[in-house]
């Protein structure tokens, strides 16, 4: 349920029983309220004078005058204060009366009336009413009992006004806490996202954007374990650019970079989604091909060479292919070493060449 659908009385959980309890705590009983109500006629006659004197005294204080701010606000406050004084002398502390008092506490918090200013206003009003009653009530006993009852009623009002003031403060703190928690949560999400991005970047080669050496070992280790569990084949292809040093030396480092980037692009375009293309370092690359035998790996190598030669007719690639599984498996170090050896055997041939064998 929305706050705007409930009264302050309900929000503050103040029931009729609680009202009676508060009155009992202050010794404010029906007879005390009756004594106050007896002065209703006198108060109705004098209320305008009391309100005028009240605001003359209050606006003498700069802090209060600047809080009120302008003449229209002062007029509205005079009307509200008139109603409050006549309400006091109705001698009825029912739920309507309590709800109106609670609203005052909330409005005070909203417009920034600090408790010290509210208490000074109560003290001023009490003095004026006590003075008036002292002039008109000749029976000393009745006067003392009426002033005592009125004093208790002021205390009753003050507890209610402070309760809503405090509840309103707590509400603001909870709102600020919720905002801070939301902000912290959004920061956590940003940090987690950034961490994921950074982790990904540490696994990618800066020049070509494909997996780097660090990632090769992780991926190969994982894929070999998966292949063993499924009893499937896996191929590793080791690729090296022939005489790459000469490309750098004769055509410049930028041209060398361009060739490396082009090879990476060709590798990515030649493999399936489950495969991985990696730059092992310098001018060396490798492909990890799960669920793939040496024959199919050979076909992938041919596709890479065909594509490469369309870009660079005068350069060549050497490739070594090793299949492992489905019955016997190499370790990651063994398969890399063997693929590297086969790549060197391929290098012994002129032009682009592939060395592969059924293991
Ligand atoms: N442009 C460029 N060159 C690089 C990069 N990383 C390594 N190199 C160069 O790659 C070359 C590799 O040379 P080598 O290991 O002798 O290999 P190669 O010239 O291909 O000789 P073979 O492997 O025997 O065919 C070296 O000159 C490195 O400086 C890079 O990121 N960009």
Cβ of 205 below 6 Å from ligand 1: no
Cβ of 248 below 6 Å from ligand 1: yes
pLDDT at res. 114: 86
Contact assessment for residue 89 and residue 97, using Cβ atoms and an 8 Å cutoff: no
Q: What is the arithmetic mean of pLDDT over 268-292?
A: 97
ipTM metric = 0.96
| pLDDT digit string, tens, across residues 35-94 | 999 999 999 999 999 999 999 999 999 999 998 889 999 999 999 999 999 999 999 999
Query: How many A from CA of 243 to the centre of ligand 1?
Result: 8
Query: How many A from CA of 113 to the centre of ligand 1?
Result: 78
pLDDT at res. 358: 60
pLDDT at res. 357: 72
Taking the whole predicted model, whether its pTM rises above 0.90 is answered as: no
Domains and CATH numbers, the chain: 3-181 (1.10.490.10), 213-356 (3.30.70.270)
| pLDDT digit string, tens, across residues 198-230 | 988 899 999 999 999 999 999 999 999 999 999
Cβ of 243 below 6 Å from ligand 1: yes
Cβ of 242 below 6 Å from ligand 1: yes
**Whose Cα sits closest to atom 5 in ligand 1?**
282
| pLDDT digit string, tens, across residues 133-185 | 999 999 999 999 999 999 999 999 999 988 888 888 898 899 999 999 999 99
Cβ of 285 below 6 Å from ligand 1: no
Counting ligand 1 atoms within 8 A of each CB, the residue from 283, 284, 340 with the most, and so the one to mutate, is: 283
**Mean pLDDT for all residues in the chain:** 93
């Amino acid at each position: 349920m929305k706050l705007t659908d409930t009264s302050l009385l309900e929000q503050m959980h103040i029931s009729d029983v609680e009202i009676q309890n508060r009155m009992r705590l202050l010794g404010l009983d029906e007879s005390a309220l009756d004594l106050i109500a007896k002065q209703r006629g006198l108060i109705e006659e004098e209320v305008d004078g009391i309100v005028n004197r009240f605001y003359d005294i209050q606006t003498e204080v700069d802090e209060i005058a600047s809080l009120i701010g302008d003449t229209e606000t002062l007029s509205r406050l005079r009307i509200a204060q008139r109603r409050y004084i006549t309400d006091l002398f109705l001698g009825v502390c029912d739920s309507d009366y309590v709800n109106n008092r609670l609203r005052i506490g909330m409005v005070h918090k909203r417009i920034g009336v600090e408790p010290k200013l509210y208490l000074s206003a109560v003290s001023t009003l009490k003095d004026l009413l006590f003075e008036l009653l002292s002039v008109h009530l000749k029976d000393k006993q009745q006067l003392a009992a009426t002033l005592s009852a009125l004093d208790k009623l002021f205390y009753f009002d003050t507890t209610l006004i402070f309760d809503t003031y405090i509840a309103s403060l707590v509400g603001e703190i909870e709102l600020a806490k919720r905002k801070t928690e939301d902000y912290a949560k959004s920061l956590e999400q940003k940090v987690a996202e950034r961490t994921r991005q950074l982790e990904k970047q540490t696994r990618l080669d800066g020049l070509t954007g494909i997996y780097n050496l660090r990632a090769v070992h992780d991926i190969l280790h994982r894929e070999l374990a998966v292949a063993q569990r499924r009893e499937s084949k896996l191929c590793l292809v080791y690729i090296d650019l022939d005489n790459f040093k000469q490309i750098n030396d004769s055509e410049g480092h930028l041209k060398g970079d361009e060739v490396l980037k082009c090879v990476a692009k060709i590798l990515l375009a030649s493999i399936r989604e489950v495969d991985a293309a990696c730059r092992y370092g310098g001018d060396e690359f490798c492909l990890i091909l799960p669920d793939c035998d040496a024959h199919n790996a050979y076909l992938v190598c041919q596709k890479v060479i065909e594509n490469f030669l369309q870009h660079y007719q005068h350069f060549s690639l050497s490739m070594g292919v090793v299949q492992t599984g489905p019955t016997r498996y190499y370790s990651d170090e063994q398969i890399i070493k063997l693929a590297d050896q086969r790549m060197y055997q391929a290098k012994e041939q002129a032009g682009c060449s592939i060395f592969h064998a059924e293991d």
